[in-house]
Amino acid sequence: MLWRYVLRRIGAMIPVLLGTTFLIFLAVYALPGDPVQAIAGPGQPIPPAVAAAIRAKYHLDDPLIVQYLQYMRRLVTGDFGTDLNGRSVGDLIAASWPVTMKLALTAWVGGGLIGVVLGTLSGIRSGGVVDTGTLAVTTVLLGVPYFVIAYVVKVLFAVKWGLLPPSGVSDGWPLSYVLPGGVLAVFLVPEIARLTRASVMDNLRSDFVDTAVAKGLDRRTVVVRHVLRTSLVPVVSVLGYSLGYLLSGSVLIEGIFNMPGLGFAIFQGIAQHNGATVVGIGTLMILVFLLLNLLVDLLYGVLDPRIRLA
């Protein structure tokens, strides 16, 4: 039954959530520097009584496992904690989430569509001009760090040519998200295109394609209704976890383009030793990633009826 499968998957997600959040807690706990001193600023004196009060308020002197259990207890009620500036991490997430979601979805939709189209055309016409060009371009893209492309496109399209905003989100969607979203999409396209190409080529040699052709179906119908639908099963899996990676991997891009999203908030939290911010946003991204993977598994049976969820 489907509901039993969903319950089992949710049960399997719990230890993953506990393990990953504890690792984040451990990493933040191991960061050098004093979070109390980070509030006042480098070299600024803090009265001992004030420092002691801050440590007591945020339980900074408690053992790591105690701090973690207190955080998980609050998380069950929907409380992501309070940062060292007294601001609710939930409010910070609510303010930053729309920026990161728009950026990730722009890159995800754009990169996914381009990758599927290029991969399909390459698979259908294997060895042709489109296929050769796609393989060549994707190979080059895989070898170039994405922060290099980010700086190049920012200098060319925003600073030199003035076609798009260089930073911030004041111009709204899509203008403020084209450049950063395009940079993220560039590194999604090679994987999607190559996977789609291989899947299409494999399915074109399948028996069900020969049967469809023997029934008199034209090539376009065979490709769209039979080959492409079956070929998208592994692609959907990659797209599912890619969205999770795009949400969590936008830290550098948001920093380069000065976008006030979750990634930029994490960057500031690390710089300011604000563990509550890093752990809270990290927990949210883990939850989103796990839910996306569950959704991908459920879509398998829709795309390919031969797959049955056990």
Domains located in the chain, CATH noted: 2-76 (no CATH), 95-303 (1.10.3720.10)
- The per-residue pLDDT for range 189-213, each reduced to its tens digit, is 998 999 999 988 888 887 777 777 7
pLDDT digits (tens, 9 = 90+) for 64-84: 888 888 888 888 888 888 887
DSSP string, 105-169: HHHHHHHHHHHHHHHHHHHHTTTSHHHHHHHHHHHHHHTS-HHHHHHHHIIIIIIIS--S-SSSS
User: What is the Cα–Cα distance from 278 to 289, expressed in whole angstroms?
Assistant: 16
pLDDT at 131 over 80: yes
Q: According to the model, what pLDDT value does residue 113 have? A: 93
Bigger pLDDT: 308 vs 253: 253
